[in-house]
Amino acid sequence: MVDEVSPVQVDLDFDQPGKTFGALRVPHSSNDSAYGQIIIPIVVIGNGNGPTLLFTGGVHGDESEGPIALMSFCREVDPNTLNGRVIVLPTLNLPAVHAATRICPLDGRDLNRVFPGDPRGSFTQVLAHYVVSSLFPLSDVVVDFHSGGHTLKYIPCVIIHKHRRDFTASLAAGRAFGSPMILISKDLETAGFLGNTSEAAGILTLTCELGGGMVSPGTVDLAKAGISNLLRHFGLTAGGPAMSERSGGPPARLVEIVDLDGYVVAPKQGLYEPFVDLGESLQKGAALGRVHHAGHTWDPPSTLFATRPGLVICRRPPAHVHPGDCVAIIGQVVE
């Protein structure tokens, strides 16, 4: 279906030098708008013959660090300082961004679960198909900016995949980004992800998880620095070493999620009381927190235990939990 023509219209010339603010027009017929379109911003910044980087933000509408940093970058960057091209969609899933939701409110789908999309499907599927069929072929590098959104908070990191043939190049790009952690994923849950689809197409890909919970100055600054560092790393801008190296800070920790046991989920509905915070190291069997059973004050809380030794790389900020909600992710430190 990737070969089928996309119904998305594009107000943009990708080969135009300089900086062009354009739009994708995705058809969306509704009760309020018979021939309606959803208009999604796209920015192309090009100069010279260097590589093309594709930056996407707002794939999940409740993850705002990437969109804020990418919108700032688009306004502020001087195209004359670049050798290459950057294609930026700071708010790719715009209806979800406006609704502050992970899932697209137009069709109830998760954009990061429907890739490679379907040109004859719903809004979200059509949008994914356009990215795959029209933007991936233009791109040498794809960077998808995520965070934990409303329900998770990560140690800010770049995710790379262990079994890819370009692992060494991905690791070097991940180190250049400048995040405090690089998460090595073994593709435990990957169906329909943007980043896995671009990797399968042979494109060097990074996915960032820039914190979550609430937007903070530190995570937005990290996203901005990461953009700048990647431009330098891939030769689009000149200059010395990337910011993380210049500042003399500690190198990024390499952490692996070994298996699905690393994801700790709530067993019951209630209020989760965490005992440990992000970045704490645990032994197997250590108490992580407990779920208080609201409405049943007399019932003892359910205590959750670490399923493996390791580092708390992610946890759930809201206390309210339902059975199956992920409350923590435990990773294994590689170096």
Interacting residue ranges for Ca ion, rule: CB under 5 A: 60, 146
Contact 182, 254 (CB under 8 A): yes
Closest by CA position to 268, among listed 304, 232, 322? 322
Q: What is the C-alpha separation between 112 and 67, in angstroms, rounded?
A: 16
Q: What is the C-alpha separation between 231 and 309, in angstroms, rounded?
A: 37
Q: Which residue lies nearer to Ca ion by CB, 61 or 178?
A: 61
How near is the Cβ of 148 to Ca ion at its closest, in Å?
A: 7
Q: What is the C-alpha separation between 143 and 226, in angstroms, rounded?
A: 10
Backbone angles phi, psi at 217, to 5 degrees: -55, -40
Q: Which residue lies nearer to Ca ion by CB, 291 or 327?
A: 327
Q: Which residue lies nearer to Ca ion by CB, 109 or 146?
A: 146
Contact 298, 309 (CB under 8 A): no
Q: Which residue lies nearer to Ca ion by CB, 20 or 101?
A: 101
Q: What is the C-alpha separation between 29 and 174, in angstroms, rounded?
A: 40
How near is the Cβ of 205 to Ca ion at its closest, in Å?
A: 15
Q: Which residue lies nearer to Ca ion by CB, 60 or 233?
A: 60
How near is the Cβ of 108 to Ca ion at its closest, in Å?
A: 17
Provide CB contacts within 8 A for 112, sequence distance 6+.
59, 60, 146, 192, 193, 194
Residue with smallest beta-carbon separation from Ca ion = 146
Q: Which residue lies nearer to Ca ion by CB, 161 or 290?
A: 161
How near is the Cβ of 59 to Ca ion at its closest, in Å?
A: 6
For residue 156, give the amino acid letter: P
Strand, coil or helix: what is 254? Answer: strand
Strand, coil or helix: what is 99? Answer: helix
How near is the Cβ of 112 to Ca ion at its closest, in Å?
A: 6
How near is the Cβ of 1 to Ca ion at its closest, in Å?
A: 24
Strand residue runs (E) in the chain: 9-10, 18-27, 37-47, 52-57, 84-89, 141-146, 153-154, 157-161, 181-185, 204-209, 253-256, 263-265, 270-274, 281-282, 287-292, 302-305, 310-315, 320-321, 326-333
Q: Which residue lies nearer to Ca ion by CB, 19 or 161?
A: 161
Residue 141: how many other CB atoms lie within 10 Å: 23
DSSP string, 180-222: SEEEEE--SS-TT-HHHHHHHTT-EEEEEE--BSS--HHHHHH
How near is the Cβ of 149 to Ca ion at its closest, in Å?
A: 6
Q: Which residue lies nearer to Ca ion by CB, 60 or 153?
A: 60
How near is the Cβ of 63 to Ca ion at its closest, in Å?
A: 5
